[in-house]
C-alpha cells in the first residue's frame, strides 16, 4: 500500500488547477444509462471512485472509453444488457446505488447489492427505496441484494423526502426522467452537483422545473431514451475548499484555477471569519491568508449551508487558531475519526457526541497517522504540512478515491510531499 511522507515547509506559492467534481461525476456517469446515444463527458477527475463506477457500467455491458482521449470519456450504454450491480463492486463504493434509478427506469428491473454502511456512518438508502416504491416499483431485499421491478415502467407521483439526501435526489430525478407522467420531489437536495444533473437532463429532453430549489418537478418521457450532448463536469468545490484550507493553515497565498466560487459561499465565508481575504474572478480564487487564524463556530448542514465534506479540513485548520473553535457534525454519526489522529500529533481537541471543541494554538508534531475515510485523509495532510518533523499518512487509498493528483498539485506549489510504498 502507498503512504504519503510530508515535511513542513515555510510557505507555499503558486497555482493549483481544480479538477472535475467527483460528486457530480458519479450521478452524471449513471445518467448515461438513460441515453440512446454514446455520451461524451469532459473534465471527469482521475480518481478511484470514477474508475469504479465506469468499471461497474462496463461489467453491465456498457462501452466506457477513457483511453482514446484523456480529456474526454465516452460512455455508450446502448449495449448494456446486464441489470445486476454485484457486491464486489458496490462494496467498494456505496455511490454505486446511483445506477438503481436509471436501470430500473430503463429496463423495468434491477438488482443492486445493498451498499452497507461505511466508516462515517450507517448511510441508509431507505429514502431512495421508499420513493421508488411510491413510483410503482416493487422492492424486495433478497440475500443482501435490492431486487427492484417495475414491469409497466415507473409512474410520476409526489415524493416528499423525510430528509435531504443528495444521491437520493439524484437517483429519483433519473428514475423520474423516463417515468410516465410528472414527478414532484419536495425537500430535494440543492447541491451544485444535483443542479448540474438536472440542467443536463433538462437540455436532453427531460423538462425539469425548480432546478436549484428544494422542489423539483420532472416531466417524464414515458420511457423514451435521451439524446445527451457532450458536457463538462463542474469543478470540485470540496477539492477547492481543501486547497483553500492548505493555504490558510500554511499561511500561503495560493491561486486556484478552473474553480467556481459561487459553489463555495459557506466555505469562503468561514475562511473570511478566520481571517483570510480573497480575490475572485469567474474561474479563479486567490486566497490572502492572515497571520493570525481566528477561532470559529461551525455547524455542518445541507447546501447552501456549511458542507459536511469540509468539516475535517476545518477541524485541522482550527487546531492552529488563536482560541477555541466549536465544530458540530449534524449529517453523519461518525465523522470525527480524524480527531484521534490529530490528537496523536498534539492537537488539543475534545469530543462530546457530535460536537468537537478545539483549543487552538497547539504545535503539531509529525508522526505516523492513519487515514480512515476520504476527507479525514485530507485533514491529516493539512496537519502534516505544518507539523514539526515528518508526517507519514498511511492507507491513502481513502484519499485516492476523491483527490486527483493531490501530491503533484501540492509539490507544484512547493510542498515537501512524496508518495512512497509501505
Does position 165 interact with ligand EPZ (CB under 6 A)? The reply is yes
Binding piece for ligand EPZ, criterion CB under 6 A, among 119-127, 346-354, 361-369, 409-417: 119-127
Q: In DSSP terms, which residues pair with 390 in a beta bridge?
A: 7
Binding piece for ligand EPZ, criterion CB under 6 A, among 37-45, 54-62, 123-131, 336-344: 123-131
CA angle centred on 216, ends 210 and 222, rounded to 5°? 115
Longest dimension (CA), the chain: 64
| φ/ψ of residue 127, rounded to 5 | -70, -35
Binding piece for ligand EPZ, criterion CB under 6 A, among 7-15, 125-133, 218-226, 344-352: 125-133
Shortest distance, CB of residue 238 to ligand EPZ, whole angstroms? 6
Instruction: Give the span between the Cα atoms of 321 and 383, in whole angstroms.
Output: 13
User: 155 with 136: CB under 8 angstroms?
Assistant: yes
Residue 118: Cβ within 10 Å count? 15
Q: How far is CA 400 from CA 22, 48, 268, 361, 386, in A?
A: 11, 6, 25, 30, 22
Residue 176 CA neighbour count, 13 Å, CB half: 30
Cα Rg for the chain, rounded, in angstroms? 22
Does position 304 interact with ligand EPZ (CB under 6 A)? The reply is no
Among 12, 26, 271, 371, binds ligand EPZ (CB under 6 A): 26
**Residues 328-347 within binding reach of ligand EPZ (CB under 6 A):** 331-332
Does position 128 interact with ligand EPZ (CB under 6 A)? The reply is yes
Binding mask 38-77 for ligand EPZ (x = CB under 6 A): ----------------------------------------
Shortest distance, CB of residue 97 to ligand EPZ, whole angstroms? 8
**Residues 191-250 within binding reach of ligand EPZ (CB under 6 A):** none
- To which H or E segment does residue 111 belong? strand 109-113
All three cell numbers of 377, joined, read: 485523509
Q: How far is CA 40 from CA 125, 208, 228, in A?
A: 29, 22, 8
Q: In DSSP terms, which residues pair with 42 in a beta bridge?
A: 72, 232
Does position 266 interact with ligand EPZ (CB under 6 A)? The reply is no
Binding mask 368-407 for ligand EPZ (x = CB under 6 A): ------xx--------------------------x-----
Binding piece for ligand EPZ, criterion CB under 6 A, among 120-128, 318-326, 352-360, 410-418: 120-128
Of 163 and 363, the one with the shorter C-beta distance to ligand EPZ is 163
DSSP 234: P
Instruction: Give the span between the Cα atoms of 32 and 36, in whole angstroms.
Output: 8
Of the residues 64, 110, 118, 198, only one is catalytic, namely 118
Does position 354 interact with ligand EPZ (CB under 6 A)? The reply is no
Contacts for 282 with CB less than 8 Å, ≥ 6 apart: none
Among 108, 124, 136, 414, binds ligand EPZ (CB under 6 A): 124
Does position 127 interact with ligand EPZ (CB under 6 A)? The reply is yes
All three cell numbers of 111, joined, read: 438488482
All three cell numbers of 63, joined, read: 462501452
Binding mask 305-324 for ligand EPZ (x = CB under 6 A): ---xx---------------
Residue 367 CA neighbour count, 13 Å, CB half: 13
Among 167, 217, 242, 378, binds ligand EPZ (CB under 6 A): 167
**Residues 274-303 within binding reach of ligand EPZ (CB under 6 A):** none
Task: Tell me, by CB under 6 A, how many residues bind ligand EPZ.
Answer: 23
Is residue 198 part of the annotated active site? The answer reads no
Helix (H, G, I), strand (E, B) or coil at 404: coil
DSSP 279: E
Does position 163 interact with ligand EPZ (CB under 6 A)? The reply is yes
Q: List residues near ligand EPZ by CB under 6 A.
A: 22-23, 26, 95, 121, 123-128, 163, 165-168, 308-309, 331-332, 374-375, 402
Q: What residues act catalytically?
A: 118
Amino acid at each position: 500500500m502507498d503512504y504519503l511522507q510530508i515535511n513542513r515547509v515555510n510557505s507555499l506559492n503558486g497555482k493549483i488547477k481544480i479538477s472535475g467534481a467527483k460528486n457530480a461525476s458519479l450521478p452524471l456517469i449513471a445518467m448515461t444509462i438513460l441515453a440512446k446515444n454514446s455520451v461524451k463527458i469532459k473534465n471527469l477527475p482521475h480518481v478511484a471512485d470514477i474508475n469504479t463506477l465506469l468499471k461497474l457500467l462496463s461489467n453491465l455491458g456498457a462501452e466506457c472509453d477513457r483511453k482514446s482521449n484523456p480529456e474526454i470519456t465516452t460512455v455508450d450504454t446502448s449495449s448494456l444488457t446486464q441489470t445486476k450491480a454485484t457486491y464486489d463492486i458496490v462494496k467498494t463504493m456505496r455511490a454505486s446505488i446511483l445506477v438503481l434509478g436509471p436501470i430500473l427506469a430503463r429496463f423495468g428491473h434491477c438488482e443492486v447489492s445493498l451498499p452497507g454502511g461505511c466508516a462515517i456512518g450507517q448511510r441508509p438508502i431507505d429514502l431512495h427505496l421508499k420513493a421508488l416504491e411510491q413510483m410503482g416499483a416493487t422492492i424486495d431485499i433478497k440475500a443482501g441484494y435490492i431486487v427492484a421491478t417495475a414491469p409497466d415502467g415507473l409512474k410520476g407521483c409526489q415524493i416528499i423526502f423525510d430528509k435531504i439526501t443528495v444521491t437520493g435526489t439524484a437517483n429519483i430525478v433519473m428514475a423520474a426522467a423516463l417515468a410516465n407522467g410528472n414527478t414532484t420531489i419536495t425537500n430535494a437536495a440543492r447541491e451544485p452537483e444535483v443542479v448540474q444533473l438536472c440542467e443536463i437532463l433538462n437540455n436532453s429532453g427531460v423538462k425539469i422545473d425548480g432546478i436549484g430549489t428544494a422542489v423539483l418537478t420532472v416531466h417524464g418521457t414515458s420511457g423514451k431514451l435521451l439524446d445527451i450532448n457532450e458536457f463538462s463536469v463542474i469543478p470540485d468545490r470540496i477539492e477547492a475548499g481543501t486547497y483553500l484550507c492548505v493555504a490558510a493553515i500554511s499561511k500561503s497565498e495560493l491561486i486556484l484555477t478552473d474553480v467556481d466560487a459561487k459553489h463555495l459561499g459557506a466555505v469562503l465565508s468561514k475562511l473570511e471569519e478566520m481571517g483570510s481575504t480573497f480575490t475572485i474572478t469567474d474561474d479563479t480564487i486567490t486566497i490572502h491568508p492572515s497571520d493570525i487564524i481566528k477561532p470559529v463556530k461551525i455547524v455542518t448542514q445541507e447546501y447552501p449551508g456549511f458542507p459536511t465534506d469540509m468539516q475535517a479540513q476545518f477541524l485541522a485548520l482550527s487546531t492552529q487558531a488563536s482560541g477555541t473553535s466549536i465544530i458540530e457534525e449534524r449529517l453523519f454519526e461518525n465523522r470525527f475519526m480524524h480527531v484521534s489522529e490529530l490528537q496523536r500529533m498534539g492537537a488539543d481537541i475534545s469530543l462530546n457526541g457530535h460536537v468537537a471543541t478545539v483549543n487552538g494554538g497547539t504545535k503539531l508534531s509529525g508522526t505516523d497517522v492513519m487515514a480512515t475515510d476520504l476527507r479525514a485523509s485530507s485533514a491529516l495532510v493539512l496537519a502534516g504540512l505544518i507539523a514539526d518533523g515528518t508526517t507519514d499518512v498511511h492507507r491513502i487509498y481513502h484519499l485516492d478515491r476523491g483527490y486527483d493528483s493531490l501530491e503533484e498539485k501540492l509539490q507544484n506549489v512547493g510542498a515537501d510531499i512524496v508518495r512512497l510504498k509501505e
